[in-house]
Amino acid sequence: MLLPVFTLKLRHKISPRMVAIGRYDGTHPCLAAATQAGKVFIHNPHTRSQHFSASRVYQSPLESDVSLLNINQAVSCLTAGVLNPALGCDALLVGTQTNLLAYDVYNNSDFFYREVADGANAIVLGTLGDISSPLAIIGGNCALQGFDHEGKDLFWTLLVGSEDFDIRVFKEDEIVAEMTETEIITSLCPVYGSRFGYALANGTVGVYDKTARYWRIKSKNYAMSIHAFDLNSDGVCELITGWSNGKVDARSDRTGEVIFKDNFSSAIAGVVEGDYRMDGHVQLICCSVDGEIRGYLPGSAEMRGNLMDTSVEQELIRELSQKKQNLLLELRNYEENAKAEWSSPLNEADGQWGIIPANTKLHTALSVNLGSETRAAHTELCISTSNDTIIRAVMIFAEGIFLGESHVVHPSIHSLSSSICIPITPPKDVPVDLHLKTFVGYRSSTQFHVFELTRQLPRFSMYALTSPDSASQPLGYVNFTIAERAQRVFVWLNQNFLLPEDTDIQNAPFQVCFTSLRNGSQLYIKVKLSGEITVKTDDIELAGDIIQSVASFFAIEDLQVEADFPVYFEELRKVLVKVDEYHSVHQKLSADMADNSNLIRSLLVRAEDARLMRDMKTMKNRYMELYDLNKDLLNGYKIRCNNHTELLGNLKAVNQAIQRAGHLRVGKPKNQVITACRDAIRSNNINTLFRIMRVGTTSS
Ligand code: CA
């Protein structure tokens, strides 16, 4: 079994995800972590004596091993690494919502301290594209910014879309791949080759290989930190996850199987690696929010990858024998059933044994239900059996539709019947696999036959085919041409919408009209003989989803699209005006603050002068004025804060708009639109921005 090679109990709390190891003097690895009240502590056990590397378990570190760095502001990200290769030592980087500090721990001085208006929520160190020097790249609220060791900002890109459910792969500032997940992505880490680990806000962790998901598991706890480390010495990294309940586990990158686990008494704050004992062996180092730190060495060859403790093995044996018991029980039931069937075929009393006719079939049908006065419109899954058997319960597992991803329906005993309809309301337009387990038997049954099957919910199942209503025709549209026959377009429609069974379209031109089950808005799809397709909707996101769906169905690599969304664009224009206003308010407030600081300085001097002259009355007056000014400054600061929050909210909306304009196109035209929009924003050219969003290029 794998035991920690050292354990430390630091008397400092550790903020989640704010842990880093660096060789700040170029030699000794030291742990740095953000702690309460805007401080960062640095634990350096090496300089004192040889004590640390000699002791196996090290319970009480000296307070003097820990030094504190005052940031005076909540730390929002932290990392360490080589920023200036010429120096040969690591920099400690600390980000807050307003600044980035690159700190020279060894010399107790700043490498640089920069204001970052967009905030620093995440930070990585590394090289990017053809910029040769390492960069500290910070992720703000809507932009990425890269600084070199002098604090020069060498890279900047508007990051379109954050806190949505997508994982995006960038090549420099160009998106090369996007994968949609079911929740906000909280962390990513490289594992091996093109494999990477990811964690979601709903307790999911997993591994992707390029754009394909390899495996995933979901826990009721949250992954606080993920890290790749080869813990069983087989040459391939495992995905190490530190959980909110204090568990640490290592999972095979291929299967997700747990090969090691350990428990802390509080949530894990961070998982890092380093040669903390300085004996040439890198340890996996796990830190809890309570300041407990454990280091693990990879398992030796003798352990043959067997890292679990014996009690875990016993647990496994217990689990397996339980499984065996269950299987035996099941077998006995089958035997009893067979016997009962032999003795008295087709007797209602057999029901209790769960015998259902061998030819019992289960039918499933998906349809749209336009709702009633008491029930909102929804998609409906109807399951029915082919005879007088009843459905006792249905279990549905599907990603992103139900809270907790699964849904159980079990009608009361009085309303049992051979069919059941389950309302489904997917919140987003993504295709979803519904994994169903249906319990079928008789009213008196104590055992049930379980039918397992999977149905796919089409991507646009929340739109019902309706007759057009010219009064509420949408103003927004997209226009594009594809070289496909009308019949093929109909096949796409049929696969992606829930059309009534008798719907059939053979020839262009044709038009279909749908009504959204979510908000009643209309969607028109018009196909001309020439292959020109017009999609009318006021929902720019829906238009984008339809274009992406068409493109992937027909394997279209590049698609240029003409678009207009008058209502949405008008909103966006207002947002842009507000952004301008907030910017100028920001400048004015900054200038006011500078003026006030000068005033404070002079008031202070005059008050002190008065005190030296023993003119207590003037002194008192000056201090009163100072008090008032201070109050004004504080108020001004609050206004500045609010202004900043508003500004960020509006900038996010602008980013989202660019993202959506890109989403209306496919391949090269998509990247061109995003780049051109970003350039237009940078040069503050609003009219160009709207032209690009409409036409797809800068040239009219
Ligand atoms: Ca391994």
Residue 49 has pLDDT above 50, yes or no: yes
Amino acid at 551: A
| Higher pLDDT pick, 166 / 324 | 324
CA of 232 to the centre of ligand 1 (A): 5
Residue 633 has pLDDT above 90, yes or no: no
Q: Which of 489, 495, 435, 488 is nearest to 460 (CA)?
A: 495
- Per-residue pLDDT, averaged over 389-404, amounts to 91
Crossing angle (nearest 10°) for helices 616-663 and 566-612 = 160
In sequence order, which residues have a C-beta less than 8 Å from that of residue 199 and are 6 or more positions away? 185, 186, 187, 188, 205, 223, 226, 241
For residue 227, report the phi and psi dihedrals to the nearest 5 degrees: -155, 145
For residue 205, report the phi and psi dihedrals to the nearest 5 degrees: -130, 155
Edge-to-edge strand ranges of the sheet holding 39-43: 19-23, 29-35, 39-43, 66-70
Residues recorded for the chain: 700
CA of 238 to the centre of ligand 1 (A): 5
CA of 312 to the centre of ligand 1 (A): 19
- Residue-wise pLDDT for 549-606, tens only, equals 999 999 999 999 999 999 999 999 999 999 999 989 988 988 888 888 888 899 999 9
User: Considering the entire predicted model, what is its pTM?
Assistant: 0.75
- Per-residue pLDDT, averaged over 270-288, amounts to 95
pLDDT for the residue numbered 63:
64
Place of tokens 């996101």: 541
CA of 229 to the centre of ligand 1 (A): 7
CA of 281 to the centre of ligand 1 (A): 16
pLDDT for the residue numbered 310:
59
In sequence order, which residues have a C-beta less than 8 Å from that of residue 223 and are 6 or more positions away? 186, 187, 199, 200, 203, 204, 205, 241, 242, 243, 244
| Higher pLDDT pick, 675 / 543 | 543
Mind giving me the DSSP string for 230-269?
Answer: -SSSSSS-EEEEEETTSEEEEE-TTT--EEEEEE-SS-EE
CA of 237 to the centre of ligand 1 (A): 5
CA of 233 to the centre of ligand 1 (A): 5
Amino acid at 549: S
CA of 182 to the centre of ligand 1 (A): 28
CA of 2 to the centre of ligand 1 (A): 14
CA of 305 to the centre of ligand 1 (A): 8
Kindly state the tokens that stand for 291. 């300041």
Kindly state the tokens that stand for 625. 């004025």
CA of 226 to the centre of ligand 1 (A): 15
CA of 300 to the centre of ligand 1 (A): 11
**Res. 54 pLDDT band, cuts 50 70 90:** very low
CA of 234 to the centre of ligand 1 (A): 5
pLDDT for the residue numbered 342:
63
For residue 330, report the phi and psi dihedrals to the nearest 5 degrees: -60, -45
CA of 259 to the centre of ligand 1 (A): 9
pLDDT for the residue numbered 495:
95
Q: Tell me the C-alpha to C-alpha distance, in Å, between residue 61 and each of 19, 23, 29, 454, 614.
A: 18, 19, 16, 56, 53
Of 143-147, 176-180, 295-299, 682-686, the range with the lowest mean pLDDT is 176-180
**By CB neighbour count within 10 A (0-12 exposed, 13-18 middle, 19+ buried), where does 49 fall?**
exposed
CA of 79 to the centre of ligand 1 (A): 25
CA of 558 to the centre of ligand 1 (A): 41
CA of 6 to the centre of ligand 1 (A): 21
Kindly state the tokens that stand for 550. 């068409």
**Res. 700 pLDDT band, cuts 50 70 90:** low
Spatial separation of the C-alpha atoms in residues 566 and 36, rounded to whole Å: 49
CA of 30 to the centre of ligand 1 (A): 25
CA of 254 to the centre of ligand 1 (A): 10
CA of 320 to the centre of ligand 1 (A): 25
CA of 250 to the centre of ligand 1 (A): 9
Q: Tell me the C-alpha to C-alpha distance, in Å, between residue 32 and each of 77, 244, 262, 331.
A: 12, 20, 23, 58
Kindly state the tokens that stand for 82. 């080589």
CA of 34 to the centre of ligand 1 (A): 30
Angle at 688 between CA 540 and CA 532, to 5 degrees: 45
Of 171-185, 392-406, 547-561, 660-674, the range with the lowest mean pLDDT is 171-185
Sign of CA dihedral 551, 553, 554, 555: positive
Torsion of CA 371, 375, 379, 380, to 10 degrees: -100
CA 667 to chain centroid: 24
Spatial separation of the C-alpha atoms in residues 225 and 287, rounded to whole Å: 10
Residue 354 has pLDDT above 60, yes or no: no
**Res. 57 pLDDT band, cuts 50 70 90:** very low
**Res. 420 pLDDT band, cuts 50 70 90:** very high
Q: Which of 470, 474, 630, 464 is nearest to 567 (CA)?
A: 474
* Residues in a beta bridge with 155: 146
In sequence order, which residues have a C-beta less than 8 Å from that of residue 249 and are 6 or more positions away? 240, 241, 243, 258, 260, 261, 262
Crossing angle (nearest 10°) for helices 686-695 and 616-663 = 20
Amino acid at 506: Q
298: three-class secondary structure by DSSP: coil
pLDDT for the residue numbered 146:
93
CA of 247 to the centre of ligand 1 (A): 19
435: left (phi over 0), alpha (psi -120 to 50) or beta: beta
Q: What does pLDDT average to over the chain?
A: 89
CA of 255 to the centre of ligand 1 (A): 12
CA of 309 to the centre of ligand 1 (A): 17
Residue 51 has pLDDT above 50, yes or no: no
- Per-residue pLDDT, averaged over 308-332, amounts to 84
Spatial separation of the C-alpha atoms in residues 66 and 34, rounded to whole Å: 12
CA of 283 to the centre of ligand 1 (A): 13
Spatial separation of the C-alpha atoms in residues 458 and 467, rounded to whole Å: 21
Spatial separation of the C-alpha atoms in residues 638 and 165, rounded to whole Å: 32
Of 94-103, 274-283, 299-308, 454-463, the range with the lowest mean pLDDT is 299-308
CA of 308 to the centre of ligand 1 (A): 14
pLDDT for the residue numbered 697:
83
CA of 382 to the centre of ligand 1 (A): 46
CA of 236 to the centre of ligand 1 (A): 4
Q: Where are the beta strands (DSSP E) in 129-279?
A: 131-139, 143-147, 153-158, 166-171, 174-180, 185-192, 195-200, 204-209, 212-218, 223-229, 238-243, 247-251, 258-263, 268-274
Amino acid at 293: I
Query: Within 13 Å and on the Cβ side, how many CA atoms surround 558?
Result: 6
CA of 264 to the centre of ligand 1 (A): 22
pLDDT for the residue numbered 353:
55
- Residue-wise pLDDT for 487-519, tens only, equals 999 999 999 999 998 888 888 899 999 999 999
CB contact at 8 A, 563 and 693:
yes
Torsion of CA 171, 173, 178, 182, to 10 degrees: 130
Peptide bond into 431 cis (omega under 30): no
CA of 135 to the centre of ligand 1 (A): 30
Helix (H) or strand (E) holding 338: helix 310-343
- Residue-wise pLDDT for 453-492, tens only, equals 999 999 999 999 999 887 788 999 999 999 998 999 999 9
Rg of the Cα trace of the chain?
A: 32
Amino acid at 358: A
CA of 652 to the centre of ligand 1 (A): 41
- Per-residue pLDDT, averaged over 210-237, amounts to 93
Q: Which of 118, 120, 124, 81 is nearest to 103 (CA)?
A: 81
Residue 31 has pLDDT above 90, yes or no: yes
CA of 251 to the centre of ligand 1 (A): 9
Residue 59 has pLDDT above 60, yes or no: no
